């Protein structure tokens, strides 16, 4: 049986094979996540001459929590090693311009590959695996194209049909097992099951010990939600905002379309159960 873990390891950031593209190409604004403003194309002052972050072990304490949340889905090493054959951005203005244009697009493509790889590993979605494989091949082909081709391609032409397939794969998987009944903790107000839906506003919601098996939480706002000891088996989480969500003791092993970025943005502990393809963040307790 196909598993999602091995191929998706290549869809995770490997800074040793990149030239610091996220530290240069992308912009960020002074906020709780970043200590100062930086324009797109300007190197971060913390980037050293070897294209490595000089404060990497201390990012959170120095005001750069956003850097610890970010993951490029392997786009950095793909652009550096494949699209530009291992070349850097410092010594050629035209290459610099093209690399910085390609990088955010490659990240979108690699994120889409991450989801497609997971969908192809879902047994309940076997009936649509041929269509998923075709979508995957189309996206992969573009990631291997020259930078000029990537920049000129309308990625939405690939994303829209793939998104339909991903929703179908998630639906088939959710329907293949028991559906949760909502919060099950004692001594507190129960959250209405009707609130557990795509795009739901669950900001700060009390979902401790919630039975969210098979929940459709696509695009849900779960900022600072309390999901301690919740069961999110087969819960669809694509696009869900988990910033500062509490995941202590939560079971996410079979959550659908969970990413490292979402995990990094949340908080958890040693009891939190994650899918094999994801890492436990260093800032978790």
Sketch the domain layout of the chain as residue ranges.
5-174, 180-285
pLDDT at residue 195 in the model: 80
Q: What is the mean pLDDT of the chain?
A: 93
Q: How many whole angstroms separate alpha carbon 269 and alpha carbon 206?
A: 18
The confidence band for 120, taking pLDDT boundaries of 50, 70 and 90, is very high
Q: What is the pTM of this model?
A: 0.92
Average pLDDT score over residue span 262-278: 97
Instruction: Report CA-CA distances (Å) from 178 to 20, 120, 181, 231.
Output: 45, 21, 9, 12
pLDDT at 42 over 80: yes
The pair of structure tokens assigned to 282 is: 């260093």
Contact status, residue 227 vs residue 244, Cβ threshold 8 Å: no
- CB-based contacts of 156, cutoff 8 Å, min separation 6: none
Q: How many whole angstroms separate alpha carbon 117 and alpha carbon 114?
A: 5
| Helix (H/G/I), strand (E/B), else coil: 123 | helix
Q: Indicate the range of 3-7, 105-109, 227-231, 274-278 predicted with least confidence.
A: 3-7
Q: 68: how many CB neighbours lie within 10 A of its CB?
A: 16
């Amino acid at each position: 049986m196909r598993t999602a873990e091995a191929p998706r390891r290549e869809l995770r950031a490997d800074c040793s094979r990149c030239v610091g593209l996220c530290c240069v190409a992308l912009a960020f604004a002074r906020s709780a996540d970043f200590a100062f403003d930086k324009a797109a194309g300007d190197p971060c002052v913390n980037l050293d001459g070897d294209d490595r972050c000089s404060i990497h072990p201390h990012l959170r304490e120095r005001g750069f929590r956003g850097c610890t949340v970010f993951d490029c889905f392997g786009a950095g090493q793909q652009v550096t090693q494949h699209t530009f054959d291992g070349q850097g951005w410092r010594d050629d203005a035209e290459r610099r311009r093209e690399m910085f244009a390609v990088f955010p697009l490659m990240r979108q493509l690699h994120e889409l590959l991450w989801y497609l790889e997971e969908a192809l590993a879902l047994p309940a979605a076997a009936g649509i695996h041929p269509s998923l494989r075709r979508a995957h091949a189309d996206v992969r082909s573009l990631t291997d194209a020259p930078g000029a081709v990537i920049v000129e391609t309308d990625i939405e032409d690939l994303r829209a049909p793939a998104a339909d397939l991903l929703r179908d794969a998630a639906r088939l998987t959710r329907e293949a097992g028991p559906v949760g009944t909502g919060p099950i903790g004692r001594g507190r107000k129960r959250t209405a099951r009707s609130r557990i839906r795509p795009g739901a506003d669950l900001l700060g919601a009390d979902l401790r010990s919630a039975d969210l098996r098979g929940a459709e939480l696509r695009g849900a706002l779960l900022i600072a939600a309390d999901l301690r000891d919740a069961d999110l088996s087969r819960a669809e989480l694509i696009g869900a905002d988990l910033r500062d969500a509490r995941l202590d003791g939560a079971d996410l092993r079979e959550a659908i379309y969970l990413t490292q970025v979402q995990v990094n943005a949340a908080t958890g502990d040693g009891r939190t159960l994650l899918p094999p393809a994801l890492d436990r963040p260093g800032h978790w307790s």
